[in-house]
Chain A
């Protein structure tokens, strides 16, 4: 019984990691768009970010899974799940990145310009490393939230942990135990992530100019 549930763990982790990677990738252009000089670009990116964050993940999931098709081709449940979670993640992560860039002291930009660094070098060697440190705690928190949110893909039949938990609960008379067991697995998974983030945050913060 426990083994059946745990067999879904790799898929849960895979979905979380893939969606987080997709979200991070999509968040980069969105972040740049939110900071763009041209107002129309900024507005479009603001609307996109707000829609990604303002519409529940389940709705995105169903829009993509039940609604999107190209000819006869329909997305797989796994693909739709990763896409939906990744889209929503990109909205939240873009906000986190934007805030982190704002947290890098203005003197750092000015100093880089004064020293004649090219924009590319300024971004690669000065801004990104510092902003990444500021963003880390919020980034890890989102990863933990995403781990839990990945459970929603069970509603379209992806056989990850919660889907299997439901199956086990239906065939046994120990429903409470089965669900609490799964919940404890999630809690056990997020505890070390949270601890790691707190510890690295303290170390990394020392390396950010104020």
Chain B
């Protein structure tokens, strides 16, 4: 049980520093989501576009963002791009990599959600003489987003956990700070447990919330 005492003292001594890291982890998550969402919506329509080149380009982006390990995309942005003449700061590189990943995953959820809107809805709009634009704006997209919402929340939790990988490109988020404190006081075990608890405090309730939301939305299904 010594470990638990260590964790408690470490949390007491280093909490402000760890919370600073946690704040950066949350900022990374939110900014990638906010930047990724509009791109995702564009990609969701792009992958079903009639124009061949456009469609293939969008499919390529989605498949790359979903199929490549996050760590590879992160290191590509930070260690790889300088070889192509683009040097980004660690935080910008991490945000760019996580944005690409969010856009790709969210595009798939949105596409699935929009496809799940009953065809009768669109036919109804046609019958009412609504324009294609209005149909999308007022009928298809709002309902599609609602259907996709639980999976998008689930993804957000995954993304939050994935920000820990930004440690490998030297972004001073929670994991980096836990590591650097651990290497100065040699209490790696308790530092990483403390960091894990801080991740869990956010991730677990958010997972519950997404499960609850799914139940709520499926009430009438």
Query: Which A residues contact B (CB, under 8 angstroms)?
Result: 50-51, 53-60, 62-63, 66-68, 148-149, 151-152, 154-155, 162, 165-166, 169-170, 172-176, 178-180, 182-183, 186-187, 190-191
Contacts and interface: CB of A to CB of B under 8 A. Distances in A.
Interface in B37-87: 63-64, 67-73, 75-76, 79-84
For A56, A174, A182, the residue with the greatest tally of chain B CB atoms inside 10 Å of its CB is A56
Interface of chain B: mostly helix, strand, loop or mixed = helix
Interface of B: 63-64, 67-73, 75-76, 79-84, 161-162, 164-165, 167-168, 175, 178-179, 182, 188-190, 192-193, 195-197, 199-200, 203-204, 207
Contact of B189 (A66, A149, A151): A66
Contact of B207 (A50, A68, A182): A50
A202 B192 CA distance: 43
B107 to A, nearest CB: 16
A149 to B, nearest CB: 7
Contacts, number: 128
A51 B188 CA distance: 19
A200 to B, nearest CB: 20
Contact of A176 (B83, B168, B190, B203): B83
Most buried by A among B70, B71, B192, B200: B71
B83 A162 contact: no
Contacts of A173: 83
Contacts of B178: 62
A32 B159 CA distance: 29
A66 B80 contact: no
B70 A148 contact: yes
Closest 7 CB pairs of A and B: A67-B189, A175-B80, A183-B68, A187-B67, A179-B76, A175-B83, A66-B188
Contacts of B73: 179, 183
B118 to A, nearest CB: 22
Nearest to A149: B69
Contacts of B75: 162, 165-166, 169, 179
A178 B80 contact: yes
15 contacts: A53-B203, A54-B204, A57-B161, A58-B175, A62-B179, A62-B192, A66-B188, A67-B193, A148-B67, A165-B72, A175-B80, A179-B73, A179-B76, A186-B72, A187-B64
B133 to A, nearest CB: 34
A191 B67 CA distance: 9
Contact of B69 (A56, A62, A183): A183
Contact of A180 (B63, B76, B162, B165): B76
Contact of B199 (A54, A148, A172, A182): A54
B13 to A, nearest CB: 18
Contacts of B79: 166, 169-170, 175, 179
A151 B66 CA distance: 14
B157 to A, nearest CB: 8
A67 B196 CA distance: 13
B69 A169 contact: no
B192 A155 contact: no
Contacts of B162: 56
A53 B68 CA distance: 21
Contact of B193 (A63, A148, A180): A63
